[in-house]
Amino acid sequence: MVEWLQSNPHWGWIIAFLAAFAESIAIIGSIVPGTITMTAIGLLIGSSVMPLWITLTWAILGAILGDALSFFIGRFFKNDLTKIWPFKKHPAILEKGQAFVQKHGGKSIFIGRFVGPVRAIVPLITGMLDMRPKFYFIASIPAAILWAPLYMLPGILIGAISLEMPADIATELILSVFFILIIFWGIIKCIAYLYRKTHRYFSTILDKKWEKWQTQRSKKWLCHLLRHAERATQRGQILLFINTLITLSIFLIIFVNVIYHGSLTHWNDAVYHLFRGIRSITLDNIAVIFTMLGLPTLLSCLIFLMFIWFLFCKRWRIAFHWLTAGIIGSALTILFKHFYFSPRPWGLIKQSASSSFPSGHTTMAVITYGLLAFFLTQKAPKTVRSIIYWVATLLCIAIGMSRLYLGAHWLTDVVGGIFLGLSIIGATVISYYRYASLPAPRWSTMITAILTITVLTIGYASVYYANDLYNYQRYWPLYQISYQSWWTQRSPAIPQYRADRLGHPTEILNIQWAGSLKNIRQTLENNDWQGIHTRDYLTTLKKLAEQNHRLAHSVIPKLYDDRNPVLEMAKLLNGQFPPLIIRLWRSNIYITPNDTPLWVGTIYYDVTEKQLLFFNRTAKTKNLKSQYLAIRSDLKKSTGSIKQLKQKNLPLKLANSTNSTLILIATH
């Protein structure tokens, strides 16, 4: 299938178009899970089977036309659709879409594109309501443009990462992703079905149990503890209490895993390297801003100032619970950090010396913004309540992600902080609901909170932003070794392999080049090597030869030590394919006495070989003799030394699958 798609790339575009088109049509879209189909297309893009931009364009076009067809079907048939199968037999399909459109109005066109159950129905409903096409497409087209890359992105990342893995691990990864997606989709469908069928039944049972417990002396204390002032005759706050116990249990499970380095901590290193490998100046600035919004010191000031505001508004119970939750959150965070010291990730210019678990930023952000959203939404309309909760949720997620992106915390620190914060919120809400209270003045409280957050953030940023941005920059240690230690490969500082974006060993570094990068590039260019880049790899090779050759080149650059290559060049030996590819990375090693920089990298023929599933991968040539001879020939006109030797003590899975020959070059 891969070879066929590579030979007939237009069919890949057609497949992407039809997949997006089908899942956008009413009824068909309810059957075709967009998450699975678009992720699968993303996998093909990430593994270089299908081109990125053309495939993405056709997928967007398919989504737009699918929505348009559904819209005009609804506009043409209108209420006659209720008399046609399957709407006649299953009227709930249209009723669900109508309820969604009535709830969100014109926004439903944009929002509905990202909500699976109603994605394909909303265009049909808006057409039945006789919405003007101009207004419909103003919302529909931007939604489709945003939807396609968002749904493809996970697949693109997984496909690109899999290219850097050994074949068996990559196959296992792809199969696992597909099975997880299918299982996840099935579980969601089952949960939704069971909830619809059993919610009313179990609610009735809990209400009866609650009435019975109130008459039993052994359980009456529980009813008193979980009483709800506005639902005295119903089941109180049992469900909230159960949810609080669940979140607390999850936090404790994570904490135990951190202490004993359990299976949950195995994801820490992978996520750390994944984020470290996508760092950029723009993302750094954004992440530092979000991490400031979760700064415990700043949030403590916000808690105190809003406490004064609640007292001013005479909302005594709100003020008490607000301040108490903040104090308990801060105290528990400090307590757990002192109880067990968990080292923080390495690799920042200045890293905090405190324990890593749990994340104080994440814990306090969840408590502060979560409780603020709760108090703002008391007796608020459903739409307002939904918007406020979504804003608070997204803000907390952004703060947690910023801690992972900046390398300030491990994954378990952030997830643990989320569940600790949710546990404290649950306990606070249970206590608050036990007695009737006046709600906070919504709009004045919201304006006060926003102004307070803004002023505190701007004030802090004006003084500390530049310093924080500098401290969160990545850092790599520098090494100095003698020329003799390098030439004989006796220094432990010399790397033997590079890891993939998840931190797993993936490729032998089979070339080391000492010298100025400028001189190295000039030497290669003088011998007909062409510079290549991820975005124009095919263009570069077309310059080398007028041949239609498909290359297994990832859309995402290969990394060493979480950094991109500093040099990527290709050459056709005697004008024949496959091309010889060389990549060099910065090693941070300097050779004395002249502090000559050492560059480490790979050199191989870009040959594709068949693998399982649906993509090919680059074959690593078993014998490096031809590469060695080619490089030695290119160095004839320059002064320098070159030799080859065997590497020892390689990781087992790399030593068994790859030739261990190493090429050393010193340019004078």
331-339: long-range contacts, CB 8 A cutoff, minimum separation 24: 332/363, 332/420, 332/424, 333/296, 333/358, 333/360, 333/363, 333/364, 333/417, 333/420, 336/255, 336/420
The pLDDT of 627-631, averaged and rounded, is 67
Residue with token string 């396609």: 148
Task: Using CB atoms within 10 Å of the CB of residue 291, give its burial: 0 to 12 exposed, 13 to 18 middle, 19+ buried.
Answer: buried
**Per-residue pLDDT, 411:** 92
Alpha helices in 78-132 (DSSP H): 92-104, 108-112, 122-128
Same domain, 376 and 459: yes
In b/e form, how buried is each residue of 181-195, taking b as 16+ CB within 10 angstroms?
beeeeeeeeeeeeee
Is 221 domain-assigned?
no
**Per-residue pLDDT, 161:** 60
Same domain, 264 and 347: yes
Query: Is the confidence at residue 283, as pLDDT, over 70?
Result: yes
**Per-residue pLDDT, 163:** 58
Query: Which phi and psi angles does 537 have, rounded to 5°?
Result: -60, -50
Query: Is the confidence at residue 338, as pLDDT, over 70?
Result: yes
**Per-residue pLDDT, 541:** 44
Query: Which phi and psi angles does 645 have, rounded to 5°?
Result: -150, 175
Q: For 475, which DSSP code? A: -
Same domain, 458 and 504: no
DSSP code per residue over 536-605? THHHHHHHH-S--------SS---BTTB--SEEEEE-GGG-SSPEEEEEEEEEEEEETTTEEEEEEEEEE
DSSP code per residue over 589-629? EEEETTTEEEEEEEEEE-EEE--STT--EEEPPS--HHHHH
**Per-residue pLDDT, 610:** 45
Instruction: For residue 274, give every residue at least 6 positions away whose Cβ sits within 8 Å of its Cβ, in sequence order, or none.
Output: 501, 502
Residue of higher predicted confidence among 629 and 516: 516
Using alpha carbons only, give the angle 79, 111, 275 rounded to the nearest 5 degrees. 155
Same domain, 381 and 513: no
Same domain, 593 and 464: no
The pLDDT of 641-661, averaged and rounded, is 69
Confidence of residue 131 (pLDDT cuts 50, 70, 90): confident
**Per-residue pLDDT, 10:** 59
CA 142 to chain centre: 22
The pLDDT of 332-342, averaged and rounded, is 92
Peptide bond into 117 cis (omega under 30): no
The pLDDT of 499-528, averaged and rounded, is 84
Q: In angstroms, what CA-CA distances link 336 with 36, 330, 340, 344? A: 40, 10, 6, 14
Query: Which phi and psi angles does 496 have, rounded to 5°?
Result: -105, -25
Using alpha carbons only, give the angle 303, 227, 243 rounded to the nearest 5 degrees. 65
**Per-residue pLDDT, 328:** 95
Task: Please give the Cα distance from 376 to 313 (Å, whole number).
Answer: 13
**Per-residue pLDDT, 659:** 62
Query: Is the confidence at residue 305, as pLDDT, over 60?
Result: yes
Same domain, 424 and 281: yes
Same domain, 131 and 151: yes
Q: Considering the chain, what percentage of its residues have pLDDT values greater than 90?
A: 26
The pLDDT of 347-369, averaged and rounded, is 91
Is 422 domain-assigned?
yes
Is-contact 571 579, C-beta < 8 A? yes
Is 182 domain-assigned?
no
Query: Is the confidence at residue 87, as pLDDT, over 80?
Result: no
Is-contact 337 424, C-beta < 8 A? no
Query: Is the confidence at residue 425, as pLDDT, over 90?
Result: yes
Same domain, 461 and 327: yes
Task: Please give the Cα distance from 614 to 177 (Å, whole number).
Answer: 14
Instruction: For residue 182, give every residue at least 6 positions away whose Cβ sits within 8 Å of its Cβ, in sequence order, or none.
Output: 36
Residue of higher predicted confidence among 202 and 476: 476
Instruction: For residue 593, give every residue at least 6 positions away whose Cβ sits within 8 Å of its Cβ, in sequence order, or none.
Output: none
**Per-residue pLDDT, 27:** 64
Query: Is the confidence at residue 617, as pLDDT, over 60?
Result: no
Residue with token string 């004045």: 444
Query: Is the confidence at residue 668, as pLDDT, over 70?
Result: no
Same domain, 283 and 231: yes
Instruction: For residue 111, give every residue at least 6 positions away whose Cβ sits within 8 Å of its Cβ, in sequence order, or none.
Output: 104
**Per-residue pLDDT, 553:** 47
Query: Is the confidence at residue 441, as pLDDT, over 80?
Result: yes
**Per-residue pLDDT, 304:** 95
CA 289 to chain centre: 18
**Per-residue pLDDT, 158:** 67
Tens digit of each residue's pLDDT (9 = 90 or more) over 14-37: 777 887 887 777 666 555 555 666
Residue with token string 């299976």: 263
The pLDDT of 653-661, averaged and rounded, is 62
Task: Please give the Cα distance from 203 to 593 (Å, whole number).
Answer: 78
Same domain, 248 and 122: no
Domain that holds residue 365: 226-471
Helix, strand, coil distribution of the chain in percent, nearest 5: 60, 10, 30
**Per-residue pLDDT, 4:** 52
**Per-residue pLDDT, 534:** 47
Is 377 domain-assigned?
yes
Task: Please give the Cα distance from 277 to 32 (Å, whole number).
Answer: 34
Query: Is the confidence at residue 74, as pLDDT, over 60?
Result: yes
Confidence of residue 613 (pLDDT cuts 50, 70, 90): very low
Question: Which of 162, 189, 217 is at the close of a domain?
Answer: 162
Is 544 domain-assigned?
yes
**Per-residue pLDDT, 70:** 81
What is the SS3 assignment for 498? strand
**Per-residue pLDDT, 271:** 86
Instruction: For residue 450, give every residue at least 6 positions away whose Cβ sits within 8 Å of its Cβ, in sequence order, or none.
Output: none
Same domain, 570 and 618: yes
Tens digit of each residue's pLDDT (9 = 90 or more) over 548-590: 344 444 456 788 888 889 998 888 877 667 788 889 999 999 9
Is 576 domain-assigned?
yes
> Average pLDDT of the chain?
78
Lowest-pLDDT range of 71-80, 612-621, 622-631: 612-621
Beta strands 511-514 and 661-667, pairing class:
parallel
Two structure tokens written together for 645:
């030797």
CA 169 to chain centre: 21
Same domain, 439 and 494: no
Instruction: For residue 383, give every residue at least 6 positions away whose Cβ sits within 8 Å of its Cβ, in sequence order, or none.
Output: 103, 104
The pLDDT of 583-605, averaged and rounded, is 89
In b/e form, how buried is each residue of 484-509, taking b as 16+ CB within 10 angstroms?
ebbbeeeeeebbbbbbbbbbbbbbbb
Confidence of residue 242 (pLDDT cuts 50, 70, 90): confident
Task: Please give the Cα distance from 166 to 283 (Å, whole number).
Answer: 30
Is 208 domain-assigned?
no
What is the SS3 assignment for 665? strand
Is the CA virtual torsion 378, 382, 383, 385 positive or negative? Answer: positive
Lowest-pLDDT range of 57-66, 159-168, 181-190: 159-168
Is 207 domain-assigned?
no
Angle at which helices 133-162 and 52-77 pack, to 10 degrees?
A: 150
Residue of higher predicted confidence among 158 and 431: 431
Question: Which of 452, 471, 490 is at the close of a domain?
Answer: 471
Q: Considering the chain, what percentage of its residues have pLDDT values greater than 70?
A: 71
**Per-residue pLDDT, 448:** 92
Question: Which of 113, 146, 162 is at the close of a domain?
Answer: 162
Tens digit of each residue's pLDDT (9 = 90 or more) over 259-277: 998 888 888 988 888 888 8
DSSP H or E run through 46: helix 34-46
Amino acid found at 367: I
Number of domains in the chain: 3
Two structure tokens written together for 61:
């076009």
Is-contact 510 603, C-beta < 8 A? yes
* CATH code for the domain of 435: 1.20.144
Beta strands 511-514 and 479-482, pairing class:
unpaired
